[in-house]
Amino acid sequence: MKTYELIAPCHFGLESVLKREITDLGYDVSQVEDGRVTFIGDDEAVCRANIGLRSAERILIKVGSFRAETFDELFENTKQISWEEFIPVDGKFWVAKAASIKSKLFSPSDIQSIMKKAMVERLKEVYHVSWFEEAGQSFPVRVFLMKDQVTVGLDTTGESLHKRGYRKFTAKAPIAENLAAALIMLTPWKHDRILVDPFCGSGTILIEAALMAANIAPGMKRGFTAQRWAHLIDKKVWDDSYEEAREMVDLSVGVEIEGSDIDPQMIHIAQQNARLAGVDHLIKFEEKDVGRLAHKGRYGFIITNPPYGERLEDKAAIPPLYRKLGERFKSLDTWSLYMITSYEGAQQDIGRRADKNRKIYNGMMKTYYYQFMGPRPPRDETGMKKNADRK
């Protein structure tokens, strides 16, 4: 069975989360860089990583790495890659994306065009043809340039891994599913602790938490580009990987996950999304202003993505909103608050300096993940168990 170097891109700032996920899947991480983690695995690893990783963007098979400061060097080095090991004579192939940082070659469109020409020249020589129909399966390629070092990967995923398939309806500024999952994994929350999101929007954070609690693999209900690469990965390997994921599901898990939003339409959307994800029975949604945030339970978690005030017309409403959240959090004296936002006055309006603060890039937007940690519960009191007795 052939072994590959596999590259898993992720949000900048979340590499440690992804590294831990890959290690937990049983694979050796060979390199961690800004925005991506490289690990060693076989064809089964391609399947299991696509189906099981929560914080990754996609899974790439690393097919080449070289230095290029000119387009001639880019062409010749790309041509040296053994593309025929991956792409059959009828394959449809193209450079889907090129990203360049601190490199002499910086035009994505030119990089894509020249690499495509080099691939064509290589495969023409190998397959002894003068023209490719490209009517077969798709083989998208992605390339990263960092300080003139070129890394080339074959995309096994297709649509980004954040597209789990359950979010048919969204809020105005939805948080990506893989980012939401990573934020949860940056906290000590487990399914036997209370979780509340008072700005739940379309429900993404809570749905991702429920998927974790029920051990539902994020990619279990979707397909991937590499499923059609029968010459590289046997269908049985995919079938076995999906079956492994199905066997791990536990829909009977006991959880206390609650979400609220001031907008009734958002509550309706969140409920629909939770139903599509198969976890609607695990989450309680309620139309409610953050000023009414309260809970009888102890040692719970607030994990939330409140409004940032990015639009000019929204800016005046942001400080009072964060002050309300801060007041309600103060009343929950044993709770922890984890909040992602780009709003610079967040700590001031919450009324407390965060215990930890992590910089995370949400797309091109720089945000901060503020972590206000509450006390640890006594060993015999996780929060949910005793709360159940009080209700």
Torsion of CA 130, 134, 136, 138, to 10 degrees: 130
Bridge partners, 146 (sequence order): 101, 149
Least confident of 39-43, 124-128, 193-197, 384-388: 384-388
Q: Residue 184 burial by CB count (10 A; 0-12/13-18/19+): exposed, middle or buried?
A: buried
- Output the pLDDT for position 172: 66
11-48 pLDDT per residue, tens = 999 999 999 999 999 999 999 999 999 999 999 999 99
- Output the pLDDT for position 319: 95
Enter the tokens of residue 174: 């939805």
Does 58 have pLDDT greater than 80?
yes
Those residues with Cβ within 8 angstroms of residue 207's Cβ, 6 or more apart along the chain or in another chain: 166, 167, 177, 270, 273, 274, 277, 279, 283
User: Which residue shows structure tokens 């990754």?
Assistant: 56
- Output the pLDDT for position 315: 82
Neighbours of 322 (CB within 10 A): 23
56-71 mean pLDDT: 98
Does 243 have pLDDT greater than 90?
yes
Strand arrangement of the beta sheet that strand 4-9 belongs to: 28-33, 36-41, 4-9, 60-67, 149-155, 138-146, 92-101
Average pLDDT, the chain: 94
Residues 246, 251, 256, 259, CA torsion sign: positive
Calpha distance 132→83 (Å, rounded): 14
75-109 pLDDT per residue, tens = 999 999 999 999 999 999 999 999 999 999 999 99
State the Cα angle at 236 between 230 and 238, rounded to 5°: 80
Phi and psi at residue 114, in whole multiples of 5°? -70, -40
- Output the pLDDT for position 383: 55
- Output the pLDDT for position 265: 95
132-155 mean pLDDT: 97
- Output the pLDDT for position 313: 54
184-233 pLDDT per residue, tens = 999 999 999 999 999 999 999 999 999 999 999 999 999 999 999 999 99
255-286 pLDDT per residue, tens = 999 999 999 999 999 999 999 999 999 999 99
Torsion of CA 320, 274, 224, 142, to 10 degrees: 0
- Output the pLDDT for position 381: 60
* Per-residue burial over 280-290, b = 16 or more CB atoms within 10 Å of its CB, e = otherwise: bebbebeebeb
Does 55 have pLDDT greater than 50?
yes
- Output the pLDDT for position 154: 98
55-84 mean pLDDT: 98
150-172 mean pLDDT: 91
- Output the pLDDT for position 379: 78
pLDDT band for position 391 (50/70/90)?
A: very low
Does 389 have pLDDT greater than 60?
no
pLDDT band for position 171 (50/70/90)?
A: low
Strands 36-41 and 4-9 come out as antiparallel
Does 388 have pLDDT greater than 70?
no
Q: How far is CA 240 from the centre of its chain?
A: 24
Calpha distance 317→232 (Å, rounded): 54
The secondary element (H helix, E strand) that includes residue 164 is none
Closest CA to 217 of 280, 166, 272: 166
Neighbours of 344 (CB within 10 A): 10
153-178 mean pLDDT: 89
The identity of residue 364, as a single letter, is: M
**H-helix segments, 94-225:** 108-127, 177-185, 204-213
- Output the pLDDT for position 221: 94
Enter the tokens of residue 172: 């105005």
Calpha distance 17→184 (Å, rounded): 10
Enter the tokens of residue 351: 């009324």
Look at the pTM and tell me if it is higher than 0.85: yes
**328 half-sphere exposure, CB direction, 13 A CA radius:** 20
239-266 mean pLDDT: 97
Task: Decide: 337 and 357 in contact? Cβ < 8 Å.
Answer: no
Does 348 have pLDDT greater than 80?
yes
pLDDT band for position 1 (50/70/90)?
A: confident
